[in-house]
Structure 1
Amino acid sequence: MRAAVIGLGVEGKKAVNSLLKHGWDVYATDLNMNVDLDGLDLPNLSMNLIEDSQSVSIVGDKITVDLGFSNSYAIEECDAIAISPSMFGGAFANRLLESNELLCDVVCGHRDLFTIGITGTNGKTTTVHMLKSILEDAGRKVLVGGNGGGGFSGYYDLILEANEGDYDILLVEVCDMTLDFANYCFDFDMVGLTNIGNDHMDVHKTIANYKDSLVRFFSNKTIFTAYNQDFNSDFKESASQTIPYFVYQDELKLFGKFNMLNAGLAAAIAKELKVPKDIIRQSLANFNAVEGRLDVYKINDADVYVGKTDNSDALASILAERNFYALFIGTPRHHEEHRLDILDVAVQYNPEVIVLFPGLDDTLDIAIYRLNSLGYMGNIITVNTLDQIIELVAEYSHEDAILIGGNGQETIIEIQERIKLISEKL
């Protein structure tokens, strides 16, 4: 079998890797010749590189990658096509829908599984892992994946694995930017909404537009929304059944009311699936923070909180529950200046120190300018290495609390691993 992958963003690269892993031949293309291929598992042997001033072709035993152009004949020869979720709804994608050439239509065993989607702005990954833990403790065979940006192997990997494995339940993390794409690819029996927050506004433009996307996504489905969620009346009109969930009241290791709500969502879905209450309670009581998500470590006198908080609502939910002497904030990509509004929230809570480090990109100068324009009067420090961050954590470790967050999941995981090692040695 041979597949074409159109677009080599996060999902496209993960699709290539998954197709190769599952034994497919792959033709991959991106019109941007300078696309970042980091994370793409290109074979090391028997490879030829063909390059001119406007295009690049990489030819291997099982894969051909064309950058700067697309070979329409090579695409036509493929058995299935995987497109970037951002292309869904466009003319090319619509043409593929008519001919049933999309990978999710060619490989469709995943649609036979009971499928649960978890979407929202913040808390998706934690909620997915909470629910997975509960269901597995209840004896269910659960396949988990979805949104590549959430640390999973992407939607296409989930589709391919579901077609080959023996599972009872498919549990999908759905990014709020890919709602229409996911709605087409998967047959959701239940959907849980964690929250609606201020992120990806470069795509949604307004919260109202985001809400309208959710209304389409929820149509004729059983949905779970927080008891106090904005737009619940709109969602109720669209869904076939709306089930409210509440703040979890039993034992949980994780910090924050927001995690108690995540646990409340996972528990509500599990209850609807007839999982016994004692299994739900025991599973959540034993649940540990997901790698890269907020966790707390003790270093000397300080509680050191580390986890991705890449939008203003995520940061505000933490700062509302604890006073922090210092905030360490990873900066966003150059084209994501909208995410700098996390600095607006940071300034509102007026920590003594704000430490800036490159999260997704080195946009330190832009972040410093933002802080100065906001009138922040505390100490601004910039660092570029993990060792420099650790040195400052040690310096502030006799204060009450420190938060390390912001953008850059991989960078924050690296920081988290180092902090954890130090904490365990003390």
Structure 2
Amino acid sequence: MKAAVIGLGVEGKKAVNSLLSHGWEVYATDLNSNVDLSDLELPMISMNLVSGGETVSIVSDNLTVDLGFSNSSAIEECDAIAISPSMYGGAFADKLLEKGKLLSNVVTKHKDIFTIGITGTNGKTTSVHMLKSILENAGKKVLVGGNGGGGFSGYYDLILEASNDDYDILLVEVCDMTLDFCNYCFDFDMVGLTNIGNDHMDVHKTIANYKNTLVRFFEGKTAFTAFNQDFNADFKEVASKAIPFFEYDEKLQVWGRFNALNAGLVAAIATELKIPKDIIMGSLADFKAVEGRMNVYKINNASIFVGKTDNSDALTSVLNENDFYALFIGTPRANEEHRLSILDEAVKYNPEVIVLFPGLDDTVDMGLYRLNRLGYEGRIEVANSLDEIIALIAEFSHEDALFIGGNGQEAIIEIQERIRLLSENL
């Protein structure tokens, strides 16, 4: 079997890796010739550079990659096509749907499995892992994955993997930017919404547009939303069944009211699935924070709160729950200036110190400009390395609480690991 992968963003590269690992031959293409291929599991290959480097072809026995152009004949010859989720809804994607060549139409076993989708702005990954723990403790065989940004292997990997074994439940983390795409590719029985926040507005443009996409996603499904969620009336109108959830008030190891809401969502879903209450409570009581998500460590007098908070609503939810002496904020990619709105929230909070460090990209200069424009009058530090971050933590470790977050999941995981080792050896 041969598949074409159109677009080599995060999901596209994950699709290539997954298809190769499942024994497919792959033709991959991106019109951008300057694509970072470091995430691709490339075999030993020959490389041909064409047109002075403006286009690139990479060829091996089971993989061909064309950058800067697409070979329409090679695409036409493929048995299935995996498009970037961002292409869904466009003219090219519509033609593929008419031909029935999208991978989810060719490989279809996943559509026979009871499927639960978890979406929202913040808390998706934690909620998915909480629910996975409950379901597995109840004896269910669960296949988990989805949104590449959540650390999973991508939507196409779920589709392919579902054909390899017999699963009771398919559990999908659905990025809010890929709702329509996922609604087409998967047959969701239940969907849960963690929250609606101020993120990806470069895509949604307005909260109203985001809400309308969610309405399409909820139509005809059992939908779980927070009891006080905006637009609940709209969701209830289209859902086959609308179930509210509340903050979970039993024992949890994870910190924060936002995590109590995540636990409330998964407890509501598990209850609807008739999972015994003792399994729900025991699973949630034992659940530990997902790597890269909010965790708390102790160094000297200070509680160090560390976790990815890459949008203003995520940061606000943390700042509303504790007093922090210093905020360490990882910076976004250069083309994601809208994510610098987290600094607006940081300045409103007015901590004694704001520390900027390279998160997804070294865009510290953009952050410094933003802080100056906002008129922040506290102490500003720049930490260009993990050692410099640790040195500042040591300096502030006799204060009550420090927060480290912002953008850059890999950087934050590295910081967590160093702080964990320090806290265990003090």
Which TM-score band (shorter chain)? over 0.9
Matched, 1:48 2:8: no
- Normalized against structure 1, the TM-score is what? 0.99
Contact 1:120–1:195, Cα closer than 8 Å, also in 2: yes
Find the residue that maps to 1:305 and give its secondary structure.
strand
Matching residue of 1:13: 13
Matching residue of 1:144: 144
Contact 1:47–1:61, Cα closer than 8 Å, also in 2: no
Matches of 2:362 and 2:263 in 1, distance apart? 35
Q: Once the two structures are superposed, what CA deviation does each residue of 1:360-390 show, in whole Å capped at 9, x if it has no partner?
A: 1111111111111111110111111111111
Query: In angstroms, what is the RMSD of aligned CA positions?
Result: 0.7
Range with greater deviation from structure 2 (199-208 or 53-62): 53-62
Matching residue of 1:83: 83
Q: Residues 190-209 of structure 1 correspond to what in structure 2 (within 5 A)? A: 190-209=190-209
Q: Once the two structures are superposed, what CA deviation does each residue of 1:323-355 show, in whole Å capped at 9, x if it has no partner?
A: 111100000111111111100100111111100
Matching residue of 2:268: 268
Q: Residues 1-400 of structure 1 correspond to what in structure 2 (within 5 A)? A: 1-43=1-43, 45-53=44-52, 54-400=54-400
Matches of 1:409 and 1:19 in 2, distance apart? 25
Matches of 1:291 and 1:279 in 2, distance apart? 23
Find the residue that maps to 2:415 and give its secondary structure.
helix
Matches of 1:10 and 1:341 in 2, distance apart? 23
The unaligned stretches of length 5 or more in structure 1 are none
Matches of 1:46 and 1:407 in 2, distance apart? 34
Find the residue that maps to 2:149 and give its secondary structure.
helix
Matches of 1:149 and 1:364 in 2, distance apart? 22
Q: Once the two structures are superposed, what CA deviation does each residue of 1:96-151 show, in whole Å capped at 9, x if it has no partner?
A: 10110000000010000000000000000000000000000000000000000111
Find the residue that maps to 2:381 and give its secondary structure.
strand
Q: How much does 1:52 deviate?
A: 3.0
2:187 partner amino acid: D
Range with greater deviation from structure 2 (210-219 or 49-58): 49-58
Matches of 1:161 and 1:380 in 2, distance apart? 48
Find the residue that maps to 1:164 and give its secondary structure.
coil
Q: How much does 1:40 deviate?
A: 1.0
Find the residue that maps to 1:35 and give its secondary structure.
coil
Among the aligned pairs, what percent are the same residue?
75
Matches of 1:171 and 1:223 in 2, distance apart? 14
Contact 2:45–2:58, Cα closer than 8 Å, also in 1: no
Matches of 1:265 and 1:15 in 2, distance apart? 30
Q: How much does 1:395 deviate?
A: 1.0
Find the residue that maps to 1:210 and give its secondary structure.
helix
Q: How much does 1:222 deviate?
A: 0.5
Q: Once the two structures are superposed, what CA deviation does each residue of 1:162-187 show, in whole Å capped at 9, x if it has no partner?
A: 11122100000000000000000000
Contact 1:11–1:154, Cα closer than 8 Å, also in 2: yes
Matches of 2:375 and 2:90 in 1, distance apart? 44
Matches of 2:93 and 2:164 in 1, distance apart? 26
- Normalized against structure 2, the TM-score is what? 0.99
Q: How much does 1:51 deviate?
A: 3.4
Q: How much does 1:394 deviate?
A: 1.0
Q: How much does 1:421 deviate?
A: 1.1
Matches of 2:123 and 2:383 in 1, distance apart? 28
Matches of 1:118 and 1:64 in 2, distance apart? 34
1:55 partner amino acid: T
Matches of 1:257 and 1:136 in 2, distance apart? 25
Matches of 2:167 and 2:414 in 1, distance apart? 32
Matches of 1:357 and 1:70 in 2, distance apart? 38
Contact 1:14–1:40, Cα closer than 8 Å, also in 2: yes
1:40 partner amino acid: L
The unaligned stretches of length 5 or more in structure 2 are none
Matches of 1:141 and 1:41 in 2, distance apart? 28
2:79 partner amino acid: D
Matches of 1:356 and 1:46 in 2, distance apart? 40
Find the residue that maps to 2:162 and give its secondary structure.
helix
Find the residue that maps to 1:351 and give its secondary structure.
coil
Find the residue that maps to 1:170 and give its secondary structure.
strand
Matches of 2:42 and 2:104 in 1, distance apart? 23
Matched, 1:405 2:408: no
Q: How much does 1:60 deviate?
A: 1.2
Matches of 1:77 and 1:237 in 2, distance apart? 44
1:240 partner amino acid: S
Matches of 2:110 and 2:297 in 1, distance apart? 39
Q: How much does 1:46 deviate?
A: 4.1
